[in-house]
Each structure stands twice: as structure tokens, then as C-alpha cells.
Structure 1
Amino acid sequence: MLTIRNATLADGSKRDVRIETDAGRIAAVGSSLTESGEVVDAAGKLLLPGAIDAHVHFRQPGFPHKETWETGSRSAAAGGVTTVVDQPNTNPPTVDGESFDAKVVLAADSYVDYGINGGVTPDWKPDELFDRPILALGEVFLADSTGKMGIEEDLFRSAVGRAADDYAVVTVHAENAELFDRDAKSRDDPNAWSAYRTAEAEVDAVERACEIGAEFGARLHIAHTSTPKGIDAARDVGATCEVTPHHMFLSRDHLEELGTFGRMNPPLRSEKRREEVFARVANGTVDMIATDHAPHTREEKDASIWNAPSGVPGVETMLPLLLEQARKGNLSYDRVADLTARTPSKVFGLPRKGRIEEGRMADLVLVDPDETREIRGDDLHSKCGWTPFEGWTGVFPELTMVRGNVVFEDGEFGDPVGENVRD
């Protein structure tokens, strides 16, 4: 047994939390529990449910020079993320039973729990995927994107229909390439990528994806919405959506400094759109924050705007950045817990995770809400070694637990204990 005493929860209440470490579950939550076993005094500290990052690319198999399950999950643990959902655009892509099984073997190195999404390509094998413990379908690219995962509408419809039959969530990357601005290709400035992949392309694809989803009664989740209209279009039809930290905090105004390190899909938007996206995060319109953690090496990103790969790391800085906003009063701590834990657990069907309640898994994060740290890429644990938030301020965890196992404490790591959340 382990008892965490005098902790402040996200709703502001002060509670003791008792953990059955053998079972990995929360045994009791109360205001004055009898001490049992080891005791941690958390007076003055904030105890949060471990974050669930529903959108990461840990790059294995195929691209271990960018990230591995070991390095990506260590980065997650150091940032207070206790569950990740890995997307299928690896090499080979996770589109059949063999590729899924191979990824599970690699994920044995994970320090945090994980879900694995099945992908959709012209040669995918849905029967094999749905015979495995996949978490969802997606990231399904109804889009032109980095890599070769974009699909035609007929195949998208087929995949959505099959997912609806299995009551599986479909995570959608929504951009309509027909609405990209081809004239922007004559430019070579960092803003060219944002000019090329227009906001209208996202909104149109969100609307079309949601129309198709509604035909089948499917459960659609729109990935990395970067525009206020895209968010509203998803919510108008009952789809869920996520916003990334980079679309929440960064805009085209930052591209002069970031250069090609600020290239991602969808791209950064205007400051006005960013402010409207932030407002929707704060007021409850947005369902969750997910990072789209997509690391590349410095050498790969140090290229022209048209040759640099799209994507930025983010799994370690998501919760610290949000907690800093809560410390400043721009978000409540309760809203942070909704965005990073409670709602992702509900949307993706993880009833044992996401809340500090009796019977739930002891996925917990302990922080000092007043202790801040400057974010430096050299201090982070992703293999890529850089961050678009260099020099920003975050509130980082002192302790991260996965099912009662300490995987990170005061800068030191425990053992890799990650399990598939669908097993």
C-alpha cells in the first residue's frame, strides 16, 4: 500500500489517496484516510490524473533515428503523460495483423501504457486489424500529408463504415488538398507552408468527413484542429476534436524565429485564429489536447520550407505548458484535467483511466504548481533533442506513476512498465 496525504486535486479539494500498489489501483480517496504502508506527504502539491496523449508518433518501426518507444515513452513520463496512442504511419504502416504484432513487440520498451491505432491504406486488412486489440482507426488521412497514408474518399467511406460496425473511433486528419494554394509554392519563406495549406482546406475536409461519419453513425474524432471553424464544424455534428499545444500557443507570428522547425500539418495559423482556438479550449468547446508528437532530427528539419519534414515534438511539454496557463489563471486546473485525462478516457473507452477515483488505475502525476522551469530542448528526453517551445516556461512533474509504479521521480526513471490498454 501507498498513501499520498494532503494532496490538492484539480477541483481544489484536499484529499488523501491510497493506492494498492500490487493491483495498480486506487483503493480509496478521502479527507482523512488511515495511513497504510509507505506515506508520501503532498501538502502544497497538486495531484492530477495521468495525462492521456491520444496522438503520438513514436516512429518505430522504420524511423528509430527520430524516436523509439523507449525514448518517446521516457519523454512522456517526464511530462506527466501516462498513456499514449500511437498512430499507424510507421514503416511498415500498421495496416494488418503482422505489422500490428511487430509494433507490440517494440512497445515492450514503453515506460507508459499505450494504445495502438490501425491504419487505412488501399492494401489494409481490416479483418486482421479488428481481430487485434487496436484502440481505434486512424490517424486516417483524408488529406495530402507527409508520407503515403492519404486515401481517396471511397476508401475513407469504406473504413468509416467498417469502424461503425465495430463501434470503433475513427481519428481523422482532415485537409482537402484541392483547396491548397498552389501559388504559394513559388515562395520560399517560412510562412509559405501556412499559406499553402489553407485554413479553408481544413474546414472543408472536417465538414465532409463529418457528413460521411453521420451517414454511418460512426464515432469520428478530428485530429489536430487548427482553426475555429474546423472546431465548430466538428462539434456541430457531435464529432469530438483535439487541439495540439502548438496550435494553441503558436501562430504564424512565430515562424520568423522557428523557420522550418515550425512546419507541421496542418500548419500554424494567424494570431487571430490562434486566439480563437485558445478561447474554445478554455470555454469547453474543444474536447481534448493531444500533441501530434512527431519528432524529426535537427538535420532533417534544417532544410528548405518545401523539403523539411512536417512535425514537431510535444509529448513532454504538453502538460507543463497547460499547467503554466493554469498557474497564470488563463485555465483552471480542473479544465486541464478534463482536457488531458477525463475526456480522452471517455472518448477512447478507457474506463479505468483518467480520474482520481476509487477503483481506477493509479495513473497519477504530482506537481508543485508554483515551481516553474524554463523549457530547453537539451533538457528534454525525446531523441530529437529540440522543441518549438524553447525558452518558454512550464510546470513539470515531480512524480509520475503508471498503475502504481513510479516511472519518473525527481529526474530519475523507474522501469518500463507499459501495457496495451486494450489487453
Structure 2
Amino acid sequence: MLITGGTLADGRVRDVRVTEETIDAVAPDLDPAADERVIDAHGKHLLPGAIDVHVHFREPGGSHKETWRTGSRSAAAGGVTTVVDQPNTDPPTVDGAAFDAKARLAADASLVDYGINGGVVPEWDPDTLFDRPLFALGEIFLADSTGEMGIDLSLFEDALERAADAEVPVTVHAEDATLFDRDALDGDLGGSGREARSDRWSAFRTPEAEADAVRRAVDAGQRAAGRLHIAHTSTPEGVDATDGTDATCEVTPHHLFLSTDDCDRLGTFGRMNPPLRDPDRRDALFERLRDGRIDVVATDHAPHTVAEKRQPLTDAPSGVPGVETMLPLLLDAVRREKLTLERVREVTATAPAAIFDLPQKGAIEEGIDADLVLVDLTDGREIEAAALHSACGWTPFEDRSGVFPELTTVRGRVVYERDPATGAESFGEPLGEPVRSSADP
């Protein structure tokens, strides 16, 4: 394949030749070979495929919400070429047998490359888990109230030490349940679904609960001399708690583009952990994205069915889908001159690849995996749930605008293509591979 005249994130106009799975050349005015497919990218931008280091594809145990097949199709249509699945499936990925079962599902169905995180519970089995090509430990729930995946600080510190010995990074969900405001859930919580008052969930899971837990997680990570990554940081205070440390942090699109101002519209469809924050905190997060203090944008793609979300506030499950809309929302911010394209490339590709040791990912360079996304930044379009590909069938970003890919490749093979004239879509066949081999730590 030869992609001609594409504008890279840094403004250079280049042709990109793909040979088998890798990028063979990046240069101006390459001559096409007789057997190459030539794609004219003049006037469009070519980006490295996004790496979403935080998804919940729900298999095994929750295939009515999402599967590796539907989740990876959604990823490919959104320009995400590598995903990292979290361990809170059923059964949770806390031992070798559970890891193997999930890996088989991914290998049979995923269109995109994938990593699998192991979990930590009081009964976890690190001996068999670390024998597998584990991507990371996480999402570890530190002092959280989420049930079976929650652990105390002493077990967290033990997991950090074991992970450091194995050279495996640790992803932590940092909220301290002892600082939740339980009075916020007293009284009238509204009805169910979109009638419920999800702003009360934001008041319940306080900003202080996150910031305090981030600080304690970072301190523990420093003592263990391991690599610590803070998941879905929802407050500027949480981001700032990683400043001057070796810890990295991610922020989700819903915490960057939504706030408690959206709670009336969303109801329980806007319930997630950590919750939406007030507009001032949302704006402060976005400013930290602009100025480089946020390392990664990842989705915490956590789909639930419409029926499941249409329950009263304290019964509805937490989580929103997002793997297909992350890159389009960020690119639309570029289109509106609120972000630079280089910054989007950094937080969705370059930094995730560097933080999680993926040297073949995250760039457009000779010898790198040909994970590529072609976009037209002038083509902003309305986000509609009916046009998305997740099994859950809804999005919290309905009616917002996004810039969606025209082409997505994974290791040189087209996994998603949209005709810019007709809008007709096509998908490739499952080809995803693990991003950790059995020889890796």
C-alpha cells in the first residue's frame, strides 16, 4: 500500500509506503509499484493509530454489553488500533486460567491489537498470572467501594512490589471510599434513567476522595520503585498530585468534554466512576491537556445496555462507552483550534507507546507497525449512537461533533474504511495480536 500526500501531525507532507506489516518508507514523492494499492491522502491528515490503554470489552461474562468482536469494530471505526482490556470481567482476570480464557476470546475475534491486564484481589494468584504475557496490573481499585475488585493499601503495596520485580506497570483506580459523602445520596434522587439526578453521584464521590487516593498511590509507588499509572483522573488536583513524580496519569474524554452541567440531560447514563465534575474542574483538566501535564487520554470504555442504565441512580451500573468517539472528539477540538494535532498524537499514540513499552507502536516511522489512521479535519460530523458500532447502542456524546476516520489499518491491513462520498463502511476480518509476547516480562 502507498498512501500519497498525507499531512503528518507535525505539518510535513509525506508519502507512506507499507510493506507487509510495517512502514517501509516515509518520504516525499515516492513512486508507486505496480502491485501497490495507492491511496490519495492530499488535503488529509495521516496519524499513528491510537492506543487506548483502558477499555472494558466485557468478555467473558458480559457479552450482552460488548464482545471482543463488537468492541474492536468500534475501536477500528474510531481510529484505535491497540486496546488494553481491564480485569474486572466475570471471572476476573486474576490468575493464569482466567487470563488464558480471555486471551482466546481476543485472539478469535479482535480486529485490533490488544493487551490484557491482570487484576489484584485478596485471592489473586500472582505466580500463574505473571507466567502469562501480562500487559500490566490494573485496573486496581484502591480503597474503592466497587466490590470484588477493591483492595486495601497493604495488598496494593504488595502488588506494586511484585509488579516492580516483574517489570510490569501498575494501573490504579484511585478513589478513597472513606471520603465519599454518603449524605449526598439521601432524599429525592429523581426517577430512573434520564430522569434521575446524576449530579448527586458527583456529589457522593467527592473530588477529595480522588486527590487523596492519588497522593497515597503515588507515595506507595515511589516506595516500591515501580511504574505507576493513574487511571481516569477526573480532577485537576488528581493530575497535579502526579507532578514531579515518576507516576503518569490518564484522563478520559467524558471528563474532558462533559461536566455536571450534562447531568440533567444524561441522568443515570452519566453515572460513572469517578463521576463527572463541575465545569470549572472540567475546564482546568482541559487546560492541563493543552499544556502537557496530562500524559494520556484513554476512554475507560465501559458499556452497559440501555435497559441496565435505565434504573434508579443507586442501582444503575457505572460506566459509559467511548472507544469509538475518543479520537473523533479530540480531532474536532483540533478543528476548532482548541488543541494542536501534535498534542493529540502525543496523548493518544506517542505517550501510551512509551509508557507501556510498545516500541513498534505510536509513530509514523520506518520499521514501525503500520497502524495508521487517515482523517479529513474539515469533515466534522454529528455523533449519533445509531451510527456507532458498540453493542451497547448509546453514547453520552449524542449530537456533539467529531472528526471520524476514513481509513484505519492495523499492521498494514485495512480494518476499517469509509467512503468519504457515500459514507459506505467496510471492516476487515479479525487479525489482532497480543502486544506482549510470551518472551516479554
Q: TM-score, normalised by structure 2?
A: 0.94
Distance 2:407 2:260 in 1: 35
CA contact (8 A) 1:47 1:365 kept: yes
- Residue of structure 2 aligned with 1:32, choices 21, 29, 32: 29
Shift of 1:145: 4.2
Partner of 1:248: 256
The one-letter code sitting in structure 2 at the alignment partner of 1:421 is V
Distance 2:146 2:317 in 1: 7
Distance 1:288 1:145 in 2: 25
3-state secondary structure, aligned to 2:243: helix
Q: Structure 1 residue 307 and structure 2 residue 318: aligned?
A: no
The one-letter code sitting in structure 1 at the alignment partner of 2:226 is A
Shift of 1:414: 1.0
1:186-226 alpha-carbon deviations (Å, 9 max, x no partner): 04132111000000000000000011100011100000000
Matches within 5 A, 1:130-149: 130-149=130-149
Matches within 5 A, 1:102-181: 102-108=101-107, 109-181=109-181
Distance 2:280 2:9 in 1: 30
CA contact (8 A) 2:140 2:149 kept: yes
1:263-314 alpha-carbon deviations (Å, 9 max, x no partner): 0000000100000000001110000100000000000000111111000000
Shift of 1:32: 2.0
Unpaired runs of 5+ residues, structure 1, are none
Q: Structure 1 residue 417 and structure 2 residue 431: aligned?
A: yes
Shift of 1:147: 4.3
Shift of 1:235: 2.5
Deviates more, 1:197-206 or 1:163-172: 163-172
Shift of 1:129: 1.1
1:137-192 alpha-carbon deviations (Å, 9 max, x no partner): 00011032444200011110100010111121100000000000011120413211
Q: TM-score, normalised by structure 1?
A: 0.98
Q: Structure 1 residue 297 and structure 2 residue 305: aligned?
A: yes
3-state secondary structure, aligned to 1:164: helix
Q: How many residues align?
A: 420
Could you list the structure 1 runs, at least 4 aligned residues long, displaced by more than 6 angstroms after superposition: none
CA contact (8 A) 1:143 1:173 kept: no
Distance 1:313 1:105 in 2: 23
3-state secondary structure, aligned to 1:264: coil
CA contact (8 A) 1:176 1:204 kept: yes
- Residue of structure 1 aligned with 2:217, choices 205, 209, 212: 209
Partner of 2:281: 273
Partner of 1:378: 386
Partner of 2:16: 17
CA contact (8 A) 1:206 1:222 kept: yes
Shift of 1:31: 1.4
Shift of 1:354: 0.3
CA contact (8 A) 1:146 1:309 kept: no
- Residue of structure 1 aligned with 2:410, choices 387, 402, 411: 402
Distance 1:38 1:77 in 2: 20
Deviates more, 1:238-247 or 1:181-190: 181-190
Partner of 2:192: none
Distance 1:145 1:235 in 2: 27
Shift of 1:34: 2.2
Deviates more, 1:127-136 or 1:290-299: 127-136
Matches within 5 A, 1:327-346: 327-346=335-354
Distance 1:105 1:261 in 2: 31
Partner of 2:422: none
3-state secondary structure, aligned to 2:42: coil
Partner of 2:67: 68
Shift of 1:320: 0.3
